[in-house]
């Protein structure tokens, strides 16, 4: 299925690889202008090159989502380059250390929370300011790069719906879902829809690193997914793009598992 995003402008954080890259590419393939944001410059620029080589429009901005000034500048880049902001996929995140609760370090807890939860909040803060800058709250779900309404998808995880993963990671991803629901209810009258996706075990660089360090744990999680395989970044991107399209115009405040059936058990 294809979605018409012609004339829309999208931001994707964590766009240098994995789910972020595939989502950015899919947004562009649907006609959107894409701001690719990441702390990894080389990977972010590669994503832009991939989009442009396929005939799409994209620009890269180096962004640390824990830095309010950097996040504000990221949103301003969308406005300055493409005239506004319609769509955002707040995807940047890390796994962190996987030690049990009593063995977690304060430094790891803080880093995971800063990136995975505070980073999503900062992105929402500045994205919502732009999306509602001239909103009239008339209930019209259409948006036209003019600061009126929009759609946002945050990346949570199956760890946000279960006890999967380490304590810091699971707590941060549960927090993303709570933040998503509150933002959705607070900004519904401003025509902004806010949802979350909850990926299962997906073939991403983060999972590949975890598999190298804890192969038995990854195999166990894959085995708990009834489809009995890893998902692909493209499959998560498909869900994100649908949620940001007019096909999902009556969908907000939800956390969607894309997990091969993991949370159904």
pLDDT 10s digits, 83-102: 999 999 999 999 999 899 99
pTM of the predicted model as reported, rounded to 2 decimal places = 0.92
Tokens of 65: 């989502």
Residues 15 and 51 sit within 8 Å (Cβ to Cβ): no
Query: How many CB atoms within 10 Å of residue 56?
Result: 20
Delimit the domains of the chain by residue range: 9-204+233-257
- Are β-strands 57-62 and 255-258 bridged in parallel, bridged antiparallel, or unpaired? unpaired
pLDDT digit string, tens, across residues 245-255: 999 999 999 99
Q: What is d(CA 171, CA 36) in angstroms, rounded to the nearest whole number?
A: 27
Is there a catalytic annotation at residue 169?
Answer: yes
Structure tokens at 144: 């036209």
- Give me the pLDDT at residue 253, please: 98
Question: Is 264's pLDDT higher than 80?
Answer: yes
216's tokens: 């038995």
Tokens, residue 53 = 């080589």
Is the pLDDT at 242 greater than 70? The verdict is yes
**At residue 52, does pLDDT exceed 50?**
yes
Kind of pairing between the strands at 57-62 and 33-38: parallel
pLDDT given for residue 134 in this prediction: 57
Q: What integer is the mean pLDDT of 101-125?
A: 98
Rounded average pLDDT over 69-96: 98
How many CA atoms within 13 Å lie on the side-chain side of 189? 3
Region 47-65: what's the mean pLDDT?
98
Lowest-pLDDT range of 57-61, 134-138, 260-264: 134-138
- Interval 31-45: pLDDT, tens: 999 999 999 999 999
Q: To 5 degrees, how large is the angle CA 259–CA 262–CA 265?
A: 150
pLDDT at 86: 98
| Spatial contact of 56 and 47, defined as CB atoms under 8 Å apart | no
Average pLDDT, the chain: 92
CA distances from 172 to 58, 94, 99 (A): 30, 10, 15
Q: How many CA atoms lie within 13 A of 25 on its CB side?
A: 21
SS3 96: coil
- % of the chain residues with pLDDT over 70: 93
pLDDT digit string, tens, across residues 125-159: 999 999 999 544 444 444 444 446 999 999 999 99
Name the least confident of 113-127, 141-155, 185-199.
Answer: 141-155
Q: Which of 3, 169, 187, 256 is catalytic?
A: 169
The answer to whether residues 229 and 136 touch, using CB atoms and an 8 Å cutoff, is no
How far is Cα 110 from Cα 213, in angstroms, rounded to an integer? 22
Sign of the CA dihedral 98, 65, 133, 250? negative
* Fold classification of 9-204+233-257 (topology level): Rossmann fold (3.40.50)
CA 76 to chain centre: 18
């Amino acid at each position: 299925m294809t979605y018409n995003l012609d004339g829309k402008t999208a931001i994707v954080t964590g766009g240098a690889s994995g789910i972020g890259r595939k989502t950015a590419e899919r947004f562009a393939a649907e006609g959107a202008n894409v701001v690719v944001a990441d702390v990894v410059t080389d990977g972010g620029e590669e994503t832009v090159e991939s989009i442009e080589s396929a005939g799409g429009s994209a620009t890269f901005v180096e962004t640390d989502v824990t830095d309010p000034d950097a996040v504000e500048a990221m949103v301003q880049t969308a406005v300055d380059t493409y005239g506004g902001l319609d769509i955002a996929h707040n995807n940047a995140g890390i796994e962190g250390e996987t030690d049990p609760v009593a063995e977690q370090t304060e430094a790891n807890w803080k880093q995971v929370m800063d990136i995975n939860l505070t980073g999503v909040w900062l992105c929402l803060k500045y994205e919502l300011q732009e999306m509602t800058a001239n909103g009239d709250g008339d209930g019209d779900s259409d948006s036209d790069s003019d600061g009126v309404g929009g759609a946002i998808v945050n990346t949570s995880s199956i760890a946000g719906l279960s006890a999967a993963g380490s304590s810091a990671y699971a707590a941060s991803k549960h927090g993303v879902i709570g933040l998503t629901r509150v933002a959705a209810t607070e900004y519904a009258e401003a025509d902004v829809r806010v949802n979350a996706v909850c990926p299962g075990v997906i073939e991403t660089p983060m999972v590949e690193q975890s598999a190298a360090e804890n192969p038995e744990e990854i195999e166990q999680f894959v085995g708990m997914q009834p489809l009995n395989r890893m998902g692909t970044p493209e499959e998560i991107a498909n869900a994100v793009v649908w949620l940001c399209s007019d096909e999902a115009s009556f969908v907000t405040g939800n956390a969607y598992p894309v997990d091969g059936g993991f949370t159904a058990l």
